[in-house]
Amino acid sequence: MPPCPVAPDALQGIPRQQTNPARWQGENWNEFVSTLQADNIDVIEDRGTRGIYSTDAGGLAYGMPNGVIIARDAQQISTLLRNAQRYHIPVTVRGGGLTTEGESVAFGGVLLDMTGMSRVLHIDKDTLTVRTEAGIFWHSLAEELRRHNFDYLSAPLNLTSSVGGTLGVGGIDVNSAKLGCSADQALCLQVVTPTGDIIECSDEQNAELFQRVILGYGQFGIITEATLKIRPFTPMRMHYFYYRSLRSAINDLILLDQNGVPDYSGILTMMDKAVTLLIAFDSAEREKTFFEQWHKQLHGYGELGFGIRLASYYALHPWRLNELFFLLRRKHTLFPDLQPAQHMRNGEIIDRTVVFSRAVWKHWGHKNMVIPDLATSVDKFIDAVEKGNAVCKHYFPRYTLYCVGIKLRAEHKAHYELSSIPHDAKDFSYGCEFEPILEENNYSRDYLQSFKNAIYDIGVDMDTSYYRFGGMMKAYIRRALGDEVVEKHLALKRIADPAMILNRNVIF
Amino acid sequence: MSYSDNINNSNKNFNYCHGCGLCTLVCPAWQQQKDVRVSPQGHAKALQYGGKIKAEALFSCILCGACSAICPENIDLTTMLLDLRQQSEKTPAQQTIENDLLQLIKLKHEQKFSQPPINKTVFLPGPELRSNQSYLSHIMQLLNNRYDIAIAGDDGYDISMALEAGVEIPAHRLDSFLQPIRFSIKLIVSDGLLIQKLHHWLPYTKINSTGYELSQLPQIREHIKDSDFYVIESRAYHCNFEKNVSHYDKLQREQFCQFNLDLNRLAIPTGAVSNEKLRTAECFNTTKQAEWMLSNKQFARIIVEDMKDLALLSKISDKPVLHLAELN
């Protein structure tokens, strides 16, 4: 039995043996590298560089690639994939590395760093589109667009997500209930297929490839360029409403979303004790309409009203004062970061992505990002969140729930086939992330995995789906999507990627 | 001497890097090369895995300090980079620079400077302003209206250059530089890299940059127009980020000018203040960087805080470029 190429020296003095015969064990690596070098492709093999990519934002999966290639153009990637097919070398593609389940971690083989392709190629002011290389961070794209007074439609609340990575998995913003997921804004793509063909695709041209690549978890090709819709930049008018009940807040969120009231909406909680419904508007007119027609229908309180109710609760439950102190401390540190003076003008947030993303890293960032989620139809959402909340309570003293809606596009149904969109969702899908606040506590990987499994088991019981179902959570794919869908896509994958080299172990 | 032994105000080193990538996002060297190995994240993660960092990657950095300002873990990345530079194996060209700097440090140590009076505000103008007497005397005149001020005989530019080049500074030279200014009420310093270190070396002394001080003066502020593009010196700005963000935000609200700030409110540097001789042209191109800073910006004139930015931007822009002091 050969030695394991991933961590041969993990146990000192005891050679680690490869126990999974299906795993690539380093065969043909030297020939593969020599061939690429002959084509002037730099394969970086030093330990320090490989170490840069050893884990992802989740910080729970660790693996080392045998070599790293920094993406430079589609032709280079084509040559890489042709040779990877020829020599049967696994290729793992990475953008911002913001996966949480090891999807962008290479357990041997090549790690392809797409951030090397980060140029904005063209902004078309007439058609309101941008053509960009797909390794670009959304934030870098926003920097370019802002200089022309444009903005993208929607992107994850994270500065370092890449465009290509997001289009491959979906991407959710606080305006997804209005505009759909981030992948919905893609009009056409340049894709390098697993066999090295460079193909332009859209819903009109090579539609089948487009439909498999969008929300395809990197199984059917590498997105090298993307044409996206853009819009004129507008600052955001933000309002917060506070609830003591998850159910009331979710009901109000769904009410507003389904009636198309806000431009941005979501729920952010501190455990289930302080539930905040955030809604925001792109224009004064829409804001005015909300206050005239919808505000009175909401069940949330203003800050003062909620504070009085919270104080009453803890006056009657003094043994929970520690919790109150946590809430006050959290409010004291978090809320100023949600409206920092330098990002506000006349009460409007002018850089929403920056404000939210920095707050995410500052207040939720940790060496382990544990964010299991549930994606459901509207009807199942409240039950799913309440069940997930009970699991959070069982595992952690402090946690956050983040709920947001996604408008589904009927014409994009084919895109959603192997995705987090639940099979029974119509018009809207809702997602909730369950995020423990780990602070300085050190939990074992087993404990964190057990928590994730407990959340995902709710999904199995409720016959619904998940946003993060790849990598370490892929055991849930068949249970969530069913054998028929998985077998269909596996058969397509085998045709598209005969040596099964591209993003191995993410889905299949 | 390891700089971090003496001057690091953060207890966190590269081991604390979680790899969030925010430093990469804002790193001008990464933006030009699109290679994570030149970013602080790349250095930190490589070190965590026992890797060695090549001098070429380390010296691609222009030490703008944006990474330290944005790091959510508050890792003092600039100090980490300076430490790594000191420990790195220098190229022959860098070795020559190191030898020249050691000579300069020796000379400066032996030189007898006039001592600035105690209990005064002391101005460390740096070599560029010193070589331009008309600017220097005008700035002194402006600052004199506000402070009881004296010019330091020794403004420590050899120390700043040594820091940047990764050259170990002899303790006696550091002492001879700090001793005369140790009891100053306030220091006004043009060199941004030096400001960061002075905050650590003299923790109880108020220290501001020349740009910050000049832009506080009403007679300067009133001449900043809404059609101006104002270039903040990034090293000074990032080393006291929280305070500077508020200061320049207030200036923007009052005068409506544009700044060289990105969406994170980090200053986009030209890199002109960095020592180009420490790197090859492929590693970092200041002209390309300045062009990016100005691209798609509409303005009538450029206002700069730093003399090197003045020289660089005057070359590449067809609009008037003025030093802040010229506004009065």
Distance CA A384, CA A431 (A): 9
* Shortest alpha-carbon distance between residue A161 and chain B (Å): 10
Distance CA A405, CA A258 (A): 10
- The CA distances from residue B27 to A72, A95, A321, B160, in Å, are 19, 17, 44, 21
> Tokens representing B77?
């990345």
Pair A170, A412: CB distance under 8 Å: no
Across B87-107, average pLDDT: 92
Q: Which residue segments constitute the domains of chain A, with CATH numbers given?
A: 15-115+492-496 (3.30.43.10), 120-232 (3.30.465.10), 237-480 (3.40.462)
Of the candidates B34, B70, B265, the beta carbon closest to that of A115 is on B34
Tens digit of pLDDT for each residue in A445-458? 999 999 999 999 99
Residue with tokens 């119509």: A426
- pLDDT the model gives residue A21: 56
A271 three-class SS: coil
pLDDT at A5 over 70: no
Q: Pick from B38, B251, B264 the residue to mutate for testing the A interface (most A CBs within 10 Å).
A: B264
b/e B44-62 (16+ beta carbons within 10 angstroms → b)? bbbbbbebebbbbbbbbbb
Q: Do B36 and A343 touch (CB under 8 A)?
A: no
A482 three-class SS: coil
Of the candidates B18, B36, B246, the beta carbon closest to that of A59 is on B18
Which residues lie closer than 8 Å to B136 by C-beta, 6 or more apart? B125, B129, B130, B151
- pLDDT the model gives residue B151: 93
Angle CA(A216)–CA(A219)–CA(A221) in degrees, nearest 5? 95
Tens digit of pLDDT for each residue in A208-252? 999 999 999 999 999 999 999 999 999 999 999 999 999 999 999
* Helix, strand counts (H, E) of chain B: 19, 8
- pLDDT the model gives residue B4: 37
Pair A54, B41: CB distance under 8 Å: no
- pLDDT the model gives residue A3: 62
Which residues lie closer than 8 Å to A460 by C-beta, 6 or more apart? A476, A479, A480
Distance CA B231, CA A456 (A): 51
pLDDT at A16 over 60: no
Tens digit of pLDDT for each residue in B209-257? 999 999 999 999 999 999 999 999 999 999 999 999 999 999 999 999 9
For A183-232, the DSSP string reads GGGEEEEEEE-TTS-EEEEESSSSHHHHHHHTTSTTSS-EEEEEEEEEEE
> Tokens representing B326?
């010229």
- The CA distances from residue A367 to A254, B25, B73, in Å, are 33, 19, 10
Closest-CA residue of chain B to A44: B37
Tens digit of pLDDT for each residue in A260-293? 999 999 999 999 999 999 999 999 999 999 999 9
* Shortest alpha-carbon distance between residue B295 and chain A (Å): 8
- pLDDT the model gives residue B205: 94
Tell me the residues of chain A between 364 and 393 that have a Cβ less than 8 Å away from chain B. Answer: 365-367
Q: How many CB atoms lie within 10 A of CB A397?
A: 14
- Min mean pLDDT across A152-161, A388-397, B226-235, B249-258 is at A152-161
- pLDDT the model gives residue B7: 37
Is residue A7 left, alpha or beta, with left meaning phi > 0 and alpha meaning psi from -120 to 50? beta
- pLDDT the model gives residue A440: 81
Give me the half-sphere count of Cα atoms (radius 13 Å) on the Cβ side of residue A199.
Answer: 18
Closest-CA residue of chain A to B73: A362
Q: Express the helix, strand and coil content of chain A in percent, nearest 5 each.
A: 40, 20, 40
- Please indicate if any CB of chain A lies within 8 Å of the CB of B131: no
Distance CA B304, CA B33 (A): 26
Tens digit of pLDDT for each residue in A321-332? 999 999 999 999
Residue with tokens 């998985």: A486
Of the candidates A44, A46, A361, the beta carbon closest to that of B20 is on A361
Tens digit of pLDDT for each residue in B143-194? 998 999 999 999 999 999 999 999 999 999 999 999 999 989 999 999 999 9
Pair A373, A156: CB distance under 8 Å: no
Distance CA B122, CA B216 (A): 17
- Min mean pLDDT across A49-53, B6-10, B18-22, B192-196 is at B6-10
pLDDT band, residue B328 (cuts 50/70/90):
confident
Which residues lie closer than 8 Å to B290 by C-beta, 6 or more apart? B270, B271, B272, B312, B313, B316
- Min mean pLDDT across A3-7, A44-48, B259-263, B298-302 is at A3-7
Distance CA A197, CA A221 (A): 9
B245 CB neighbours in chain A (<8 A) are: 342
Q: Do B25 and A342 touch (CB under 8 A)?
A: no
Pair A225, A133: CB distance under 8 Å: yes
- Please indicate if any CB of chain B lies within 8 Å of the CB of A100: no
Tens digit of pLDDT for each residue in B48-86? 988 889 888 999 999 999 999 999 889 999 999 999 999
- The rounded mean pLDDT for chain A is 93
Across B287-296, average pLDDT: 96
Question: What's the farthest any 2 CA atoms get from each other in chain B?
Answer: 55
Across A463-470, average pLDDT: 90
Tens digit of pLDDT for each residue in A402-461? 999 999 999 998 888 888 899 999 999 999 999 999 988 889 999 999 999 999 999 999
pLDDT band, residue B131 (cuts 50/70/90):
very high
* Shortest alpha-carbon distance between residue A487 and chain B (Å): 35
- Please indicate if any CB of chain B lies within 8 Å of the CB of A231: no
Pair B195, B236: CB distance under 8 Å: yes
What is the ipTM for the molecules in this complex?
0.92
- The rounded mean pLDDT for chain B is 92
Q: Do B264 and A354 touch (CB under 8 A)?
A: yes
> Tokens representing A30?
């030297």
- Min mean pLDDT across A15-29, A94-108, A126-140, A166-180 is at A15-29
